[in-house]
Amino acid sequence: MEITEINPLTERMIENIGKVIVGKHRPVKLALISLFCQGHLLIEDVPGVGKTMLARSLAKTVGLSFSRIQFTPDMLPSDITGVSIFNQETRQFEFRPGPIFSQIILADEINRATPKTQAALLEAMEERQVTIDGVTRFLPSPFMVMATQNPIEYEGTFPLPEAQLDRFFMRIRIGYPSLEDEMRILDDQQYQHPINTLESIITVQELIEIQETIRRVYLSTAVKRYVVTLIRYTRNQPNVYLGSSPRGSLALARAGQAKAAMEGRDYVLPDDIKDLAPEVLSHRLILAPASKLRDYNERDVILEALNNVAVPGGDPMRRIG
């Protein structure tokens, strides 16, 4: 697939998902960037703004299999990965796959599960496989976890460990719709939900080709240095206990490539990096305790880095060698 073919496909996908997720162009675009980069998405928002519908719409638009896992405190790891059951007739153990064996996984209210159950997702998210009873089983491809959590409800929840947060490609929020958009939602859902009539826009093979093509988008040395300098800035601030990892550098660079391709370019601009840095990096930071008392959050650190790190000049299209 040529890079120039990605832009029209992307616009059609955004328009299709927009039939369900009304007036939320940026969250939809960020979800597509995560999918194109083979990354996982953490949606942190209040109930009822369309987190589940976004996951279902994305799966239907690409024709991917979909599973929803409702996390609860009493959930066991085997409830996610599957379990081996002894068959009395064959006198052998048979594996019953869990809901993790789908292409789009909605991990609803992930922070309600215990750390042991949350850890069951770690191998799946990073290695695209699960190991059960000593047997490694590969997950279908493409594979994406879209997890949700409520940012204001802390009772009965277990905060995600840093290792798991770092495995999410982005953390986004959807937000409430505008007055006009909410009225349109009432009209659209008067007789039936638009999700029921949503059609597939691209094939799985086309999605895989997009994922492979994005890697060919040109990253100049200056833009790479800009990405790494931003990351290093987060590691050397007094308000930050733990800065972004090298995985953050890889994610930010890849996100820039995806955004460029979606806009019809075969090269990454510094503006692509600046635009995506808050969603790609903020959840990878751990703030010092004193900073929280001053109402200083992770996005403030990213914005401070963007304001203080010099933007590279020169021609981002110029290829050396």
pLDDT-wise least confident of 6-10, 247-251, 279-283, 285-289: 285-289
**Domains identified in the chain, total number:** 2
Q: What is the pLDDT of residue 204?
A: 93
Sheet containing 66-70: give its strands across.
66-70, 104-108, 144-149, 41-44, 170-172
Q: How confident is the model at residue 296 (pLDDT cuts 50, 70, 90)?
A: confident
Single pTM value for the model = 0.91
% the chain with pLDDT above 70: 95
Domain that residue 238 falls in = 217-321
pLDDT at 88: 82
Residues 191 and 282 in one domain: no
- Residue 264: pLDDT band (50, 70, 90) is very high
CB atoms near residue 297 (< 10 Å): 15
Looking at every residue in the chain, the average pLDDT score rounds to 89
Identify whether residues 206 and 224 lie together within a single domain: no
Residues 295 and 266 in one domain: yes
CA 320 to chain centre: 33
**Statement to judge: residues 128 and 44 lie in one domain:** yes
Give the domain-ending residue among 213, 242, 258: 213
Q: How far apart are CA 313 and CA 84, in angstroms?
A: 58
Among residues 213, 245, 269, the one where a domain terminates is 213
Closest CA to 62 of 120, 127, 14: 14
Measured between alpha carbons, how far is 81 from 96 in angstroms, rounded to an integer? 9
**316 compared with 45, residue with greater pLDDT:** 45
What's the CA gap between 195 and 147, in Å, rounded?
20
Residues 208 and 224 in one domain: no
Q: Express each pLDDT in 129-177 by its tens digit.
A: 888 878 888 999 899 999 998 776 666 677 787 878 889 999 999 989 9
Higher pLDDT, 258 or 312: 258
Question: Which CATH number belongs to the domain containing residue 107 in this structure?
Answer: 3.40.50.300
CATH code, domain with 319: 1.10.8.80
What pLDDT score does 315 carry? 59
Query: Exposure string (b/e) for 136-154, b if CB count within 10 Å is 16 or more?
Result: eeebeebbbbbbbbeeeee
Q: Which of 149, 179, 213 is the last residue of a domain?
A: 213
d(CA 148, CA 319): 41
pLDDT, tens digit, 9 for 90 and up, residues 190-222: 888 899 989 999 999 999 999 999 999 999 999
- pLDDT-derived band at 7 (thresholds 50, 70, 90) equals very high
Same domain, 165 and 67: yes
pLDDT of residue 153: 61
191/86 Cα distance (integer angstroms): 47
pLDDT value of residue 112 = 87
For residues 143 and 225, membership in a common domain is answered with no
Residues 110 and 159 in one domain: yes
pLDDT score recorded for residue 212: 95
Output the pLDDT for position 320.
Answer: 44
Co-location of 288 and 191 in the same domain = no
Burial class (CB in 10 A: 0-12, 13-18, 19+), 308: exposed
Q: Which of 157-161, 177-181, 265-269 has the lowest mean pLDDT?
A: 157-161
Residue 98 or 162, more confident: 98
